[in-house]
Amino acid sequence: MGGLKKLVTQFLKFGVVGVIATGIDFGIMIFLTEVFGVDPVISSGISFCTSTVFNYLASMRFVFKHREDLSKRREFIIFVVLSLIGLGLNQLIMWGGTTALGERWYVLVKVAATGIVMLWNFFSRKHWLDADHS
């Protein structure tokens, strides 16, 4: 049972980091779209990349335990690759959702994209980056 408790605690820490990263993501996306008229799919990509940098720094410091068999450089490369897959999911969902529902629903579509990408991010990082993966 200790393993489940540890996983839940780690997921909650991931959630706190994720809430902050999501605030950064949504804030930049909405700002770029509403203030500068940037297409929501483009602004979502820019905001996603910006929040990913914060997410890396916070996740590897507070959520996941560094694997001794990975250099920091390799760890960052893996994080970026996993994040790029997440970006692909995000962009696909944003494109599909705004195409199907209309651009005025971009925030709702982003909520769905965020939930799906969050699950991808946690479990992929847990598997490939966390020293305590099992």
Rounded CA separation 111/48 (Å): 13
Q: Encode pLDDT of 21-62 as tens digits.
A: 989 999 999 999 999 999 998 999 899 889 988 988 999 999
pLDDT of residue 134 exceeding 60:
no
DSSP structure class, residue 100: H
Per-residue confidence band for 1, with pLDDT thresholds at 50, 70 and 90: low
How does DSSP classify residue 132? Answer: T
Q: How far is CA 71 from CA 34, 68, 79, 106, 120, in A?
A: 41, 7, 12, 38, 23
**Residue 52's closest CA among 98, 30, 20?**
20
For the chain, what are the domain ranges?
A: 2-129
The residue-averaged pLDDT of 72-95 equals 92
Task: Please tell me whether the overall predicted TM-score, pTM, comes out greater than 0.95 for this model.
Answer: no
User: Contact, 96 vs 110, CB < 8 A?
Assistant: no
pLDDT band at 113 (very low <50, low <70, confident <90, very high): very high
